Amino acid sequence: MPHDPYSKSAGQSRVAAARRLLEVYAIGTRAALHRQPEGVRHTLALLRKSLDPSQAPDIALSLEAIYNDIEAALEAERYEEVARLFEELRGLWLARINFEDLQQ
Amino acid sequence: MDRLTTSQIADFNNPLAFSRPREERVGQAQIQNTDSGSPIRTDDIEASFRLVTGAAERLETLEGNLNTMLELARSARFARGDERKLQETYGKLRSLSAGFDQVVEAIRFSDQALFEGETAYLDLGSGARPIELDVAKLKTYGEDSLNLSEAEPSARASVSFRTEDRIVNETYDIVGLDIDEASYVPGANPALELENGTYKIGISYAGAGSSVEIRTPEGAVVERKENVDLSGSGREWVDFDSGVRLSFEKENFFSFFDKFDFETNGPAELTATLTYERVEGHVLRTGEASPEDSVNIPFSPVLSDASGSLTVSDPRIAPVDVTRQALESGFYTLDIEYQGENSIARLTDSLGRLKAFDFAIDLSGEGSTQLDLGVGLSLSINKDQFSTEGASLTVPIDYQRQTPPIEDFDFREYANRIEEAITIVQEQRGIIDDASERIQEVNQLRNSASTSGLPSVGALNASGALSILSGEGANSLFSPASSSARLDTLSNQLFSATTALPVQANQSPQELASLQNTAATNSWLGNFA
């Protein structure tokens, strides 16, 4: 229903949330490429804080495991791996967002 | 699991494979285990939710592992008579069950293993009673466990020659003497068991009257064995009461003296380094454990003549010579034909088949003579003024060896045990799921009653569910291989879930702005500003 103002608002909210998520990953990638551990930690902290497993526990657990990998790579100063993981996560979410757009 | 090669099968079935480190002395383990410490308690509802979410994930993995084991155990039905296939299946089951224990051990909360059979208390915040979670003991071994394996005290012992040993040993020009292995002997005196660490072996070589001792690195004697016969050729085993067996290989090359002229120069003082590590063997066994090794003479006959007598005594289980086949359990008959310095011993089984012999036993002297037939049996022949050549002494011997667990392993019974274990794990999953639902109910009730309207109280955050149960670090057989594998899993999950974005796309504009601000302050925001 294109004229339903609630639906339109909800859609805009979803798009805005998706954009913010993609930007968080992009900032994480950039921080890793600039070898800024504090930036990577800040990004990870925000991602973990905003993780809501009650929606889909399996996805939340997988994401948490990958964030642990990123943290381990950061501790070992493997910044390229950190950047790659952020970029791959961003790519997966982008694909999922496009997939949802197609379904709508 | 892929098909194993012959050498892999041998490795998987090595008694010391998959063994676990052991801190306590033999027999002390159970006393220690009863001291369970304080129960697991979470501090808040969020930690409780993380714990149950992580535990549910791990239990799913464990159930999957048990199902793999069940398939394997059932597949053995089709391998009857195929010894190699049975050994391969047994080896795989050993590997998988040991991996299972590693996963269970790695599921920890506040550095305490969760699935240890203790009640865990999950906090639900103020106003609600904590959940008492009855957690089962999910290890495959021990009391009240899944009963899929047994833990047997054992040890790794090895001998090496370090630089300091070589320097000492080279001062004596001794030829034809070597320690080729050290091993653990079950049934030794547990109170004397060595601690983990390195020791020095001191050998005072004086032919048949040599002595061997174990010393601490500081030089204190731990145990000493006198009158060790290191003369001549062959093999000599020295068993210490502390549970260490040393195997000497000896070869006499010279006619003037035996290995070293100790009669002229005094005993040769040689050294080697012994490394001892207490471990707990991982044994898969069905049915009762076979009896311990034993050998006895049901009745002791005496061969007498006018001047004296000939008897045997002190029958013992002995190491088996590498070139000989070990005796099986059963009743044997030992015939000793007295011929002075060329006396003869023949060992036959209950069907009369010759199993071992020695045609040159020197019984010319008085007293006790040690007879080692090289097939796992030794005893003493005692002569007291006996002199009738051609006379024979017949001795019955009851010889029992512990059979390796694989020989009478019943795969069908083991499959039944795995099915029972799966039921226990499924029950645990039910308990954990109930606890998870209860936590979410309490949280929802609290949120609906809340008037603050703050978004942060809306959903429980299970972030860190796996890290709170720190199994991720376990180098187990079952943990996911790599971050690439996890990304693959995530990809599948993202595209099969009906709801995905709300899991992670929850950053508020303010939070993003804060992150961007950090980035801008550190001047690496670049293209994203």
- For B397, list phi and psi in degrees, rounded to 5: -135, 125
Q: What are the chain B neighbours of A16 within 8 Å (beta carbons)?
A: 509
Mean pLDDT over residues B341-368, rounded? 89
Tell me which chain B residues have a C-beta less than 8 angstroms from the C-beta of A43. Answer: 515
Picking from A23, A46, A93, the nearest residue to B528 by CB comes out as A23
* Contact call for B462 and A51, based on CB within 8 A: yes
Do B463 and A64 count as a contact with CB atoms less than 8 A apart?
yes
How many Cα atoms occupy the beta-carbon half-sphere of B352 within 13 Å? 0
Residues 6+ apart with CB under 8 A from B261: none
Q: What is the pLDDT of residues B108-152, one digit of tens each?
A: 887 788 888 888 898 888 778 888 888 889 999 988 889 999 888
Is residue B479 predicted with pLDDT exceeding 60?
A: no
As a whole number of angstroms, the distance between CA B291 and CA B401 comes to 8
Report the percent of chain A where pLDDT is more than 90.
38
Nearest to B262 by CA among B169, B172, B171, B166: B172
Q: For the residues B182-194, what does the mean pLDDT come to? A: 87
Q: For residue B462, give how far its alpha carbon lies from the nearest alpha carbon of chain A (Å).
A: 6
Cβ contact (<8 Å) for B503 and A93? no
ipTM of the complex: 0.89
Distance in angstroms (rounded) separating the CA atoms of residues B126 and A80: 45
Contact A55/B472, CB-based, under 8 Å?
no
CA pair distance B56, B474, nearest whole angstrom: 17
Q: Which chain A residues are Cβ-neighbours of B462 within 8 angstroms?
A: 51, 53-54, 57, 60-61, 64
- As a whole number of angstroms, the distance between CA B475 and CA B468 comes to 17
B493: chain A residues, CB-CB within 8 Å: 56, 58-59, 62
Across A7-21, B264-278, B305-319, B428-442, least confident range: A7-21
Mutate to test the interface with A, among B463, B478, B523 (most CBs of A within 10 A): B463
Looking at CA atoms only, how far is residue A96 from chain B in angstroms? 7
> Does the distance separating the beta carbons of B524 and A42 come in below 8 Å?
no
On the question of pLDDT at A29 being above 50, the answer is yes
Overall average pLDDT of the B502-528 stretch: 77
Percent of chain B with pLDDT over 90: 28
Nearest residue to A63 (alpha-carbon basis) of B63, B46, B501 = B501
Contacts of B509 in chain A (CB under 8 A): 16, 20
**Which pair of tokens denotes residue B49?**
């939710």
Burial B294-323 (b: 16+ CB within 10 A, else e): ebebeeeeebeeeeeebbbeebebbbbbee
Q: How far apart are CA B433 and CA B444, in angstroms?
A: 16
Q: Is the pLDDT of residue B32 over 70?
A: no
Alpha-carbon distance of B120 to B127, in angstroms, equals 19
At B524 the pLDDT is 53
User: Is residue B10 scored above 70 in pLDDT?
Assistant: yes
In this predicted structure, the answer to whether residue B322 has a pLDDT above a threshold of 50 is: yes
CA distance B142 to B389: 58
Q: DSSP labels for A60-84?
A: HHHHHHHHHHHHHHHHTT-HHHHHH
B193 Cβ neighbours under 8 A, 6+ residues apart = B25, B26, B155, B242, B243, B278
Tell me how crowded residue B254 is: count the other CB atoms within 10 A of its CB: 11
Mean pLDDT calculated for residue range B189-211: 92
Average pLDDT over residues B387-413: 88
Inter-chain touch A58–B493, beta carbons under 8 Å = yes
Query: pLDDT tens-digit profile of B44-82?
Result: 887 888 888 888 888 888 898 899 999 999 998 888 778
Q: How far A51 CA lies from chain B's nearest CA (Å)? A: 5
Residue B222: its pLDDT value, please? 93
The pLDDT score that the predictor gives to residue B171 is 87
Cα–Cα dist B309/B413, whole Å = 53
Q: Which helix (H) or strand (E) holds B460?
A: none
- Shortest Cα distance, chain B CAs vs residue A69, angstroms: 6
| B489, B497, B505: residue with CB nearest A21 | B505
Is residue B472's pLDDT more than 50? no
B1 — pLDDT class (breaks 50, 70, 90) = low
Mean model confidence pLDDT for chain B: 83
* Both structure tokens of B148: 């899929």
